[in-house]
């Protein structure tokens, strides 16, 4: 099984190399893809038991976290022609590339037969309650963004984005509504993973928090580019850890009910709770 997991990560990384055709740094893009694929290993082992189900869990994370929310932040704060003049094309190209990567991971999952048995009861809240809990998760993201984003900007990145504070002030309330919207998209992206991971509640929360950090920050920022230098990418990697990991963990804990103790002793789950 370990060999199959390693193959899944190494081969999965190839699916994320499409940007290298235009931007170069093929090795870095492959390593980025390996990291993203590794973040999905818990999904491959203990997630949905069909290829379509795997794709249905992976693709929202890639499209909403790796592409849409990071793209919107770049469009807002990076005043480079590479971003501003090609915004729609960049979004379209990245979305197609990540959908292809999600399909590659689903196919690899099928070929390598990675699903593992795990008898865990998954307790999900009622629909209306889930909406409220997702909103709480989005609010937690805004709070983390405000606290850690402000600290990062004041002490580390202000020199890179001298107009950043002015842009946020000019937008007023709309800026925070935009960030709340980004938070909602990020939390919505992980709902399929939270609801299908056959792991304990806390293990699911940790896996989801790491997934948000790796796919929304770490993996994207290890690749060299002409807009962000090495120190700047490192700072943002830590910043996104503090902004994405906590809401991911909290949202997962809220959306997964605590199973009765006897369920972890191997007893059969109640039909209405799976």
Q: What's the pLDDT tens digit per position in 148-197?
A: 999 999 999 888 888 888 888 889 999 999 999 999 999 999 999 999 99
What radius of gyration, in Å, describes the C-alpha atoms of the chain?
A: 19
Q: What's the pLDDT tens digit per position in 216-250?
A: 999 999 999 888 888 999 999 999 999 999 999 99
**pTM for the whole thing?**
0.89
Domain that holds residue 76: 2-273
Judge whether residue 21 has pLDDT over 90: no
CA 243 – CA 212 distance, rounded (Å): 9
Residue 78: strand, helix, or coil: coil
- Count Cβ neighbours within 10 Å for each residue of 97-119 and write b for 16 or more, e otherwise: bbbebbbbbbbbbeebebbeeee
Angle, helices 87-112/51-60, rounded to nearest 10 degrees: 150
Give the mean pLDDT of the chain: 90
The domain total for the chain is 1
- 272 versus 251: the higher-pLDDT residue is 251
Judge whether residue 261 has pLDDT over 60: no
What would the mean pLDDT of 23-36 be, rounded to a whole number? Answer: 92
């Amino acid at each position: 099984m370990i060999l199959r997991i390693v193959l899944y990560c190494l081969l999965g990384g190839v699916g994320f190399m499409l940007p290298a055709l235009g931007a170069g740094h093929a090795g870095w893009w492959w390593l980025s893809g390996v990291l993203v694929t590794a973040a999905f290993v818990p999904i491959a082992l203990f997630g949905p038991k069909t290829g379509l189900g795997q794709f249905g869990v992976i693709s929202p994370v890639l499209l909403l976290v790796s592409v849409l929310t990071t793209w919107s932040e770049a469009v807002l704060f990076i005043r480079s022609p590479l971003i501003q003049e090609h915004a729609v094309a960049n979004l379209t190209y990245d979305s197609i590339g990540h959908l292809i990567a999600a399909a590659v991971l689903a196919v690899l999952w099928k070929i390598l037969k990675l699903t593992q048995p795990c008898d865990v009861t998954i307790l999900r809240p009622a629909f209306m309650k889930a909406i409220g809990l997702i909103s709480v998760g989005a609010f937690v993201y805004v709070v983390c963004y405000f606290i850690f984003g402000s600290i990062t900007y004041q002490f580390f990145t202000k020199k890179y984005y001298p107009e950043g504070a002015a842009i946020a002030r000019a937008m007023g309330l709309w800026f925070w509504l935009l960030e709340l919207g980004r938070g909602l998209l990020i939390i919505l992206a992980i709902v399929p993973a939270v609801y299908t991971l056959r792991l304990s509640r806390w293990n699911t929360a940790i896996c989801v928090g790491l997934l948000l950090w790796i796919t929304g920050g770490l993996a994207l920022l290890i690749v060299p580019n002409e807009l962000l230098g090495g120190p700047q990418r490192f700072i943002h990697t830590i910043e996104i850890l503090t902004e994405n990991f906590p809401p991911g963990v909290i949202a997962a804990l809220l959306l997964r009910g605590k199973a009765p103790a006897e369920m972890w002793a191997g007893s059969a789950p109640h039909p209405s709770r799976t």
